[in-house]
């Protein structure tokens, strides 16, 4: 086994939930963070550049380093001295899985430097345990759109077919929303009617994503478990939703815990949807960056130097 001295891990952004798939479905998007790990003789050096870099901690509380340390604790080993260089393109605390990129990046970097003692599925299980839910870390690691279900402490991960006409348009506002705050507003109990609503809509969503059937997607992207409670935390939600639907989106959802709003549309309508979402938010006095993305199908990618 050769000793790796330097590895770069590129990890995609992710959008979790896709409406009715709360905490169980997510898709990787073509927007990336990059993490470079270099062995040192002593110490820990962390540097961050790119989007939101000034707000990321560069001491040992950094989430990438925390995941790196957790990996070695899991093996009951001492983490080695390391330099971690982070290049960010995924905005922080916007519902696009920036924390998941950090966790997946930290674990993969650690696994490589340690000589790959853990399999990909063991790394995935550790990532799910750190994040607390699978819907960002699984697609960040594996790419594509993924459904995760657990039984007897094991995870079944299923790739969900994604029609190549589907274009996710993300509207990223210039304010943050912490996942913690967005989870605190959710009820701990839901009615049977709401549970049935989401069960049916998630089933329809899977077929809608596979076929790009307009009517199925329009209905399927609705949810009763989290969005009705969270939209109050996102000023302009109703206006941006109406603008997206009026210009040809199949539907619009809160990306992850928000505040980014994600419209699913097709190539023909994506420009009009992006322009309308930007304008609707601007009218509410909120500036947003809007991007038409694609599904990332590769997940985390490694570049290794021996």
Interface with ligand HSE (CB under 6 A), residue from 17, 98, 101, 278: 17
State the nearest-atom distance from the C-beta of 181 to ligand HSE, in Å: 10
Interface with ligand HSE (CB under 6 A), residue from 7, 16, 103, 263: 16
HSE, CB side, 13 Å, CA atoms: give it for residue 24.
18
Of 190, 166, 121, 119, the closest CA to residue 15 belongs to 166
Structural Rg of the chain based on CA atoms: 19
Neighbour count for residue 77 (Cβ, 10 Å): 12
Q: In angstroms, what CA-CA distances link 225 with 19, 133, 158, 194?
A: 9, 16, 22, 7
> According to the binding rule CB under 6 A, does residue 15 interact with ligand HSE?
no
State the nearest-atom distance from the C-beta of 45 to ligand HSE, in Å: 28
**Sole window of 64-72, 86-94, 175-183, 207-215 interacting with ligand HSE (rule: CB under 6 A):** 175-183
> According to the binding rule CB under 6 A, does residue 85 interact with ligand HSE?
no
Q: C-alpha angle 103/110/87, rounded to 5°?
A: 55
> According to the binding rule CB under 6 A, does residue 256 interact with ligand HSE?
yes
State the nearest-atom distance from the C-beta of 147 to ligand HSE, in Å: 13
> According to the binding rule CB under 6 A, does residue 135 interact with ligand HSE?
yes
Q: Is the CB of 230 or the CB of 269 nearer to ligand HSE?
A: 230
**Sole window of 35-43, 66-74, 114-122, 129-137 interacting with ligand HSE (rule: CB under 6 A):** 129-137
User: Residues with Cβ < 8 Å from 288, sequence gap 6 or more?
Assistant: 171, 172, 173, 174, 277, 278, 281, 282
Of 69, 89, 85, 87, the closest CA to residue 77 belongs to 69
Interface with ligand HSE (CB under 6 A), residue from 126, 166, 253, 257: 257
- Give the tokens for residue 120: 């990909």
State the nearest-atom distance from the C-beta of 155 to ligand HSE, in Å: 15
Neighbour count for residue 1 (Cβ, 10 Å): 6
Interface with ligand HSE (CB under 6 A), residue from 6, 23, 218, 222: 23
> According to the binding rule CB under 6 A, does residue 296 interact with ligand HSE?
no
> According to the binding rule CB under 6 A, does residue 176 interact with ligand HSE?
no
Report the distance separating Cα 245 and Cα 218, nearest Å: 9
> According to the binding rule CB under 6 A, does residue 247 interact with ligand HSE?
no
Interface with ligand HSE (CB under 6 A), residue from 39, 83, 183, 218: 183
State the nearest-atom distance from the C-beta of 290 to ligand HSE, in Å: 21
> According to the binding rule CB under 6 A, does residue 136 interact with ligand HSE?
yes
Neighbour count for residue 150 (Cβ, 10 Å): 13
Report the distance separating Cα 4 and Cα 37, nearest Å: 10
Strand 44-50 and strand 82-88: the pairing is parallel
Residues lying near ligand HSE in the complex (CB under 6 A): 16-17, 22-23, 133, 135-136, 179, 182-183, 226, 256-257
């Amino acid at each position: 086994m050769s000793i790796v001295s330097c590895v770069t891990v590129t990890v995609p952004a992710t959008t979790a939930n896709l409406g009715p798939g709360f905490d169980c479905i997510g898709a990787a998007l073509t927007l990336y963070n990059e993490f470079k790990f270099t062995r040192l003789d002593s110490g820990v050096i962390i540097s961050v550049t790119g989007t939101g870099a000034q707000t990321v901690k560069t001491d040992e509380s950094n989430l990438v380093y925390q995941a790196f340390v957790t990996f070695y604790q899991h093996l009951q080993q001492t983490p080695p001295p390391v330099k971690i260089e982070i290049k960010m393109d995924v905005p922080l605390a916007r519902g696009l899985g920036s924390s998941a990129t950090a966790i997946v990046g930290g674990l993969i970097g650690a696994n490589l430097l340690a000589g790959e003692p853990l399999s990909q599925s063991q790394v995935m299980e550790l990532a799910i345990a750190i994040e607390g839910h699978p819907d960002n870390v699984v697609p960040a690691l594996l790419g594509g759109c993924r459904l995760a279900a657990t039984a007897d402490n094991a995870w079944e991960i299923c790739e969900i077919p994604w029609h190549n006409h589907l274009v996710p348009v993300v509207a990223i506002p210039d304010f943050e929303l912490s996942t913690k705050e967005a989870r605190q507003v959710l009820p701990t109990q839901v009615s049977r009617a709401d549970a049935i609503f989401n069960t049916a809509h998630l089933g329809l969503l899977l077929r809608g994503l596979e076929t790009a059937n307009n009517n199925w997607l329009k209905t399927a992207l609705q949810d009763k478990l989290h969005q009705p409670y969270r939209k109050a935390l996102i000023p302009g939600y109703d206006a941006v939703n109406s603008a997206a639907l009026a210009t040809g989106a199949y539907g619009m959802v809160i990306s992850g815990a928000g505040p980014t709003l994600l419209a699913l549309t097709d190539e023909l309508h994506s420009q009009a949807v992006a322009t309308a979402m930007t304008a609707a938010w601007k009218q509410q006095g909120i500036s947003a960056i809007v991007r038409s993305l694609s599904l990332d199908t590769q997940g985390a990618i490694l570049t290794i130097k021996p």
